Structure formats: structure tokens, C-alpha cells
A and B are shown apart, each in its own frame.
Chain A
Amino acid sequence: MELPLLSLIVLTPAAGAAILALLPSDDAVRRVALGVTLIDLALSIVMLANFDTTTHAMQFTEIRPWVPSLGINYALGVDGISALFVFLTALLGSVSVLASWVAIDRKVKEFMINLLAMQALMLGVFSALDLFLFYVLWEAMLIPMYLIIGIWGGEGRVYAAFKFFLYTLAGSLLFLIGVIVLYFEGGETFDILALTARDLPFGVQSWLFFAFLIAFAVKVPMVPVHTWLPDAHVQAPTAGSIILAGVLLKMGAYGFLRFSLPMLPEASVYYSTLMLALSALAIVYGGLLALAQDDLKKLVAYSSISHMGFVTLGIFSLNLHGLEGSILQMFNHGVTTGALFLFVGLIYERTHTRSIAAYGGLMKAAPIYTAFLALFTLSSMALPGTNSFIGELLVLSGGFAANPAFGAAAVLGAVLSAAYLLGMYGKVALGQASVGDRYAIHDVNAREMVAILPLAVFVLWVGLYPKPFLEIIDVSVKHLLVQVHGTGGGP
């Protein structure tokens, strides 16, 4: 019998969470949590190493009956669309544990349990091949995330946690109805692959498209349902922000790729202009809001809205470049924005302020910190040579092919991102030292370095040699395009 690799990846953090509950000291909790996430990361690397890039079929599949009388199975599997996300989640899991090492100083055990539970659920979402299983995991994530924001967050944490919870819940409940309708329309099955093969009438597709859209748009988030994000980000502890920006936001876009496009192809094509418009709006609006922020976390949060706009723009370009770019860009955004939140967290631990105005001349006090900050800032604004350049270029190419007007709006967003990111960097790193006078700022230590380095590696690796990453995605995206258009699609 073959080793159930995906189950191992998904269940390792869950088992780890159970073990943590038995540990006595905070220190042991931290070490074991890190060990568990590292094992998980290793497993996900094994998975990627054995990933067959020549087929669009699901790999590492497992299936067990769960609720037979309703046709519900415990079914897992990954293809080129989900494989990178499984890896990204595992990677950011370890980074999150490191980021919480000293930042979380009370109820450490409970925090790490939530973190690991969260990781298990996220990994499950990306590898679920059963719609019911997907929904259960998707919705169950609300509980640990609510607690992470609400218990370990900043002063406005209670409000932020409520807002996050209710927005996401309200969005996904309509998704639930959509899932049930799909179950009956698709011949009483929750099997994602079987449902993908069904040809639903356009009217049904339309309704389902909007039911799904609400759920996914809240998660992405798309304008105008984005307002929970800045609150959640600002109040969440660093690890919470990393998970939110790095993985959670990807789930909405992943939902479009896994459900909306292949299951509702005609509706996806029909409403693609609307979706492009919303994406362009998010890119520009998010960028403008980011320009006006003084709070570092808020700035990164609004930049996330703008960058996720690129992702949805690429998806609804419905062509090869757009889709490949958007998937790669999701991975890049996870790495880069995860890193930026980590950096905000690091400096906040030292100075206890997130106001950009309070900083200046950090370069003298913390040269290594500012050097890496520069790398991730440049990556976020998609400088050539960094990961986001490849992703954004592909998305823009696809976007222009789909609709030049919205493509142009996206370019404007790219310019805006240069403005707010360079502005932020200039004020924080260059100029006169201001915070440094009042606080003793020490540079990054070894533990923090361990968290930063792998992210930096991926920034440059994807930026300079994206081929292995695109190879993973390629065949599955081409297959997805066949499902949507019935042909290979344009360039």
C-alpha cells in the first residue's frame, strides 16, 4: 500500500496540536510546534519532488467513504493548481511559528494549538477533492482564526475578530446553499472531479456563480467586501497576519480556480468582464488607500487588496498567461507579503509603534533588517529580478489580451504600488533617525534570520529562474482552459 502522503501532510499539524496540549512548559511548546511545522514542510517538499508535471490528473489521491448515504467522501489529491499552495502553506507555517517565538508571551500553548489547527485546515482545503469536505474545512478555519485575532490581537481585536467572523460566515453560508444545489444538479455527488465534468444549464450556472462569488470575494477580498481585511490585519498578531495574507486570501482565488471556472465555465466567461472590472477597481482603489496610510500594517493590508486584484484580473482574463500569472502571483504574494508582515512584526516588537511617521533612518540602527526590507519591498512592487515581476508581467499580458482598458488600470496600480512602497521605505529606512534615538533597536537575530532567509530565497529564485514553478502549474492550467473554453485558449 502506498503511503498516504497528503493525509500525512494534513494530519501532522493536527496531531501536533494534540501533542502540544500535553506539554507543560511554554518553551517545550514552541520547540515542538516548530518541529511539527518543519516535519510538515519536509513532507510537502517530498510531495513536490515526486510531483509529476506532465499530467493534469490529480496526484497522491486518497479516497475513503465518510458519509455514504449522502455520497460524501474523505477524498484528497493535488494537481498543478493546488500543489504550490500546499507547499506555501507548509512554508509559512514554520515562518509563523518563528514569528510568534517571543511576540506571543501569554497563553503560548493555546496560541500554538490554534496555529497548528489552522495549518491543518488550510492544507486540507487545498487538497480536498470532495466539496463537502472542502466546505467543512473552509468553514472550520473560522474558529481558530477568530481566536487568534480575538485573543492575541491588538487593542481593537474584539471588533476586528467579530467583523472577520461575520463577514466570512455570511459569505460562506450562501456558498453552502450553492454547494447543496450543485449536489442535486450534479447528480447527488460531492466529488469535485465528477461535478467538474457535468454540463449544467446556463441559468443554474449563473445563480451558482454569484453564490460562489460572494464567498470567494469576501475571502480574496474584492472591493466592495474588503472592509474586514484592514481591521483584521492591523489587530491580528504577526503570525495571524502572515497566515491571513499568505494563505487565507489565496483561498478565495483558489475557489475561483477550482470551482467557478471548471464547474461553471459558461457563467465564468459570461461574467468575466464584470469580474475584470471589479479586479481593476480593487487594484486602483487598494493602491490609492495604501498611499494614504500611516500605519505600516494597514499599508501592507491595503497593498494586499491591490495585489489580490492582480490575481483575480489574471484569473478572469481566462487565458494562459493570465491564469499562470495569477497562480504564480498568489505564491509570490504569499511569500512577499508574508515577509512584509513579518518585518512589520519584527520592528513593532522593538518599538511598539506601527506609525510610519515615527520611524526614520533605520538603516543605521539595523542595516540587515533594512537590507532585507528593501528586497521584499522591491519584490512587492514587482521590480525585475524579483518573483512578483514574473507574476505581474504574465498577469498584465493576459489582462491586456482580455481587455486593454482594465489592463491599463492594472498598470496604473503597479505605478501606485511603487509610489506607496518606495514612500514607506524611504521614510522608514532612510533620512534622520528618529525612533532610534528613543529606543534601543537591535538588528535581526539568528532566529529571525532563519524565518527571513527561506522567503528571501524564493523571492530571488522565482524572480530569476521561474521555470520549475511554471512547469508545475502549466499542464493543469492548460487543462483548465480546455474545460472553460473547450479549446486551448489564446496566449
Chain B
Amino acid sequence: MSAAELLRWVLASLPEILVITGACALLILGQFVRRGQEHVLVWASVAVVLVAALATVLLAAEVRPAYTGMFVADRFAVFFKMVFYLATVLTFLLSRKYADIEGIAISEYYVLLLFALTGMMIMASAVDLLSIYVGLELMALSTYVLTGFLRRERRSNEAALKYVILGAVSTAIFLYGVSLVYGLTGTTALAGVAAAVTGKPLDPALLLAVVFIVAGLVFKIGAVPFHMWVPDVYEGAPTTITAFMSVGPKAAGFAIILRVFLNPLIAGSDAWVIVAAIAVVTMALGSFVALVQDNFKRLLAYSSIAHAGFAVFGVVAGGADGIASVMLYLLIYAFMNLGIFSIVIMMRSGDFLGETIEDYAGLSKWHPGLALLMLLYLFSLAGIPPTAGFFAKFYVLVALVERGFVALAVIAVLLSAVAAYFYIRVVMVIYMREPTRTFEPALTPAVRTTLAVTAAGTIGIGLFPAWFLRLAQTSVFGG
């Protein structure tokens, strides 16, 4: 290994290095921050992410493979990293006030978020089953801890414990699949695995390995049948972390799924049938179970399951449009879901939890502006034009029909009609009920910024999707 090569590798992974260095520096800095000065931590964390984002953009011009085929910095990775940066920065902004209210404003909170970000970034760039595993675990371990960050709350502890146990099992299953692949093909590099199986009829043992890997990954995106942790963890975790998890780690899971699934290994086989079944069942379960939820965080948990199902339809479609549709979906979902979570987070003030749907009754009377934003996010989640949520779904459907999966497209839209019901039910509560109490939302400048960014994304991408669509289409790997 020459010095020049090492330099190239470092350059390829510079954003990751920046974030992890920044996180370590923050850990030390945290010891010197006095009580009441916690906002320094927020701004320092945001600065770290922004510097990494800048580095990512500057290095995006060419594809940079690194670390002997374990890692690649291509446009696909860049796109996902941008989604992660967006999710992380907005989570930091949301956390400022919320962390004070919950008493969790300590440096470890921000450091762990940065570690999770690093994990996700590695996942987006990983092209080897082992580097995937490293990224996956770094992200997962950080989020386990963050889930249990409300130490005095039983709900939070329970959620963290469930998440750790189920997460560990899923990781173990994933690793077992990886070991089988290695045993059968002699390599863990995705390209190598693909080359080893191309042309041969699929070995039953290899199929088993694929099923294990799929199971491990499906857990991360919260798709059926590995979705059971989602509602409990989403409900128990600090709401800022729920917001983060519903967007960041989920997108990271999809990044890997796209890399692994759209490899010849799967693309050539009939595995799409399994994936299609997962998509249908996931969306159906998410949509129908959400109908009967009274807790808003749980409702959003099932909503996120349903949305994961819809995005999996894009994976089923495959091809350039299929991949691009999943990527665009995740970007748009990041905007609208973080938007709606900002409002949930804001509702938490004083002793008021603001977690049940009834808590939102008559919001429009006291805070017409907030109610309007909520309306925007809810209709976007339901997929009603002219919001971005519609365009996200539309493009997935285009990809499906392009591949001839018209029946799947019909199922997808019928299920999204079911999902629309629970979103507009919340709209109804906000606009058509009389308020039972006054609201004192914790509206800080940071939260306002988050709302502005997410609202701009939700309506802006809906009205002017062309640029974002091009971005997704040119970021498909290989491109």
C-alpha cells in the first residue's frame, strides 16, 4: 500500500472521518460545558455535520473506491448521505429544547447521534458484507442507547431492552447469512458474490443465505414480519430519537437493501416474489393497524411501517427507475416525517405529553399556523397532490407499471387509500373538534427552522419535483 493510495482512501472516506473525529472532540468538549450552556453542544454538532456535508459535496464529482473493495464513495452513497445529514441536523435542532424538558441535554446524546450518523454513512458506502456489518452495528448500538436515554422512564427502558434483544438476534441472523455466503462463494464482496453465482442455477444453500441476509435487513427497515419492535420502540424512545430513527436508520437500511438486492445475485432469481410479498403484507399491516391507534406516536410508527412497505414496492420494481424511486421516496419521507415529528416534539411542554390524538383536538383554533403545517404533512403522508408525498408515490407506481407489475400497483394504491383514512382522521381532530385545553407549544427558533425546512421540502418538491427527480435518477449506482 503506497502513501498515495492511502491518501486516496482517506479522501474517499473523509466525510466519515470528519464526523467521527468531531464526535470524539465533542465527547471531550462535553466535559467542559457548564450547565445552561448546552446550546454550544448543539451548534458544535450541527457544525460537524455541515462540514462533513461540504466535504461530501466537494468529493462527489467522481467515484472513489477505497479500502480494497470494502468501501466506495459514489453518487448513490452521496445521495443517501445527504438524507442522513438532513435527518441528523434537523434532529439536533429539534433536540435543543426537548432535551432540556426531558433532562437529557448532555454531550453523550449528541455524540451518540453523530456515531449513529457515521454508521449510516458507512452503510451507504459499503460494498462488502463485512463493511456493511460494521456500519450496521455502529448505527444500531448507538440507537439502542439513545432509545433508552430517558433513564427514569420505564417505557423508554423497556423499549431499549426490546430493541437490543431483537436487534441482536436480527444481526446474528444477518451474520449467519454472511458466513454461509462466504463459505459457498469464498468472498464477501458484493461484486465477488455476484460474479460467483452468475450463470449457475441458484444453490439451495445460497438461497438460505439470502433469506438470512434479507431477514436481517428487513428488521432494520421495520418491514413485516420483523416489524414488532417498531411501535414499542417508537413509543418509548425520546420523540426526537423516534423522529431520527424513522428517517435516518430506515434510509440506511434501504441503502443496503438496494445494494444487495439489485445485485445480479437477486435480480436474476425469483427473489422478487418474496420481496413483493413483504411489500404487500408490510403495507397492509401498517395501514390497517394504524386505523385503530389512539397514541399518535404509535400511529406514526405504523404509518412508518406502511411507508416502508410502499418503498419496498420500488425495490420490487428494480431497474434504474425502481432504485431512483426508492431514493426519492426516502428523501421526501425524510422531509414530511421529520416535519410531523417536529410538531409532536413541540407539543411536549411542561407536564403535557401531547402524545394521544385527542390532545390535538382544536389545535387549529389556537395555532392556525401549526395546524396548517400539520395539515400539509398529513396530506403529504397520505399522498395527496400537490404535496411531495404524492410525487414520491407516483414515481414508485411509474416504476412498477414500467416493469409490468400493474396488479402490484393497484394493490399499492388501494392500501394507500386505507392509509389516507387515518391521516385525515387526525386532520379532522385538529380542525373539526373543539379544543379542550390551551396549547403552549415549545416554539424555539431552532424548531421554527426545522418546520420551515421540512415544510419547504414537502410543498417545494411537490410543486417542482424536476430537479430532485433528476438528482435521484443520476445518483443511481453505476450512473
Contacts and interface: CB of A to CB of B under 8 A. Distances in A.
A268 B397 CA distance: 26
A110 B368 contact: yes
B386 interface: yes
Contacts of B427: 146
Contacts of A150: 428, 431-432
Contacts of A174: 410, 413
Interface in B409-441: 409-410, 413-414, 416-417, 420-421, 424-425, 427-428, 431-432
A162 B429 CA distance: 12
Given A139-B384, A147-B431, A161-B428, A184 B401 contact: yes
B367 interface: no
A166 interface: yes
Nearest to A147: B431
B336 to A, nearest CB: 15
Contacts of A173: 413-414, 416-417
A140 B431 contact: no
Given A140-B386, A158-B428, A177 B409 contact: yes
B406 A143 contact: no
Interface in B357-416: 368, 375, 379, 384-386, 390, 394-395, 397-398, 401-402, 406, 409-410, 413-414, 416
A270 interface: no
B376 to A, nearest CB: 10
A140 B385 contact: yes
A204 B466 CA distance: 29
A140 B388 CA distance: 12
A183 B399 CA distance: 12
Interface stretch (A3-11, A67-75, A89-97, A303-311): A67-75
Interface centre among B375, B416, B417 (most CB of A within 10 A): B417
Nearest to A167: B417
Contact of A67 (B402, B409, B416, B466): B466
A89 B421 CA distance: 29
B384 A170 contact: no
B386 A183 contact: no
Given A67-B465, A170-B417, A174-B410, A180 B431 contact: no
Contact of A139 (B368, B390, B397): B390
A106 to B, nearest CB: 10
Contact of B420 (A135, A151, A166): A166
Contact of A143 (B384, B398, B428): B384
Contacts of B154: none
B151 interface: no
B8 to A, nearest CB: 33
Interface string A394-413: 00000000000000000000
Contact of B386 (A136, A161, A166): A136
B285 to A, nearest CB: 19
Interface centre among A110, A169, A170, A184 (most CB of B within 10 A): A169
A174 B473 CA distance: 26
A321 interface: no
Interface residues of A, number: 34
A66 interface: yes
B432 A158 contact: yes
Nearest to A136: B385
A393 interface: no
Contacts of A166: 417, 420-421
Given A136-B386, A177-B409, A184-B401, A169 B420 contact: yes
Nearest to A207: B406
A18 interface: no
A66 B386 CA distance: 13
A418 interface: no
A70 B402 CA distance: 12
Contact of B413 (A147, A157, A158, A176): A176
Interface in A146-166: 146-147, 150-151, 157-158, 161-162, 165-166
A142 interface: yes
Contacts of A137: 385
Contacts of B431: 147, 150-151
B7 to A, nearest CB: 37
A181 B416 CA distance: 18
Given A166-B420, A177-B401, A67 B469 contact: yes
Given A70-B469, A180-B409, A162 B424 contact: yes
A69 B473 contact: yes
A174 to B, nearest CB: 7
A177 B432 contact: no
Given A142-B384, A162-B424, A169-B417, A136 B390 contact: yes
A173 B428 CA distance: 21
Given A139-B385, A146-B427, 15 more contacts: A67-B469, A69-B469, A69-B473, A135-B385, A137-B385, A139-B384, A139-B390, A142-B384, A161-B428, A162-B424, A165-B424, A170-B414, A173-B416, A174-B410, A184-B402
12 contacts: A67-B469, A69-B466, A140-B384, A146-B427, A147-B431, A161-B432, A165-B424, A169-B417, A170-B414, A173-B417, A176-B397, A177-B397
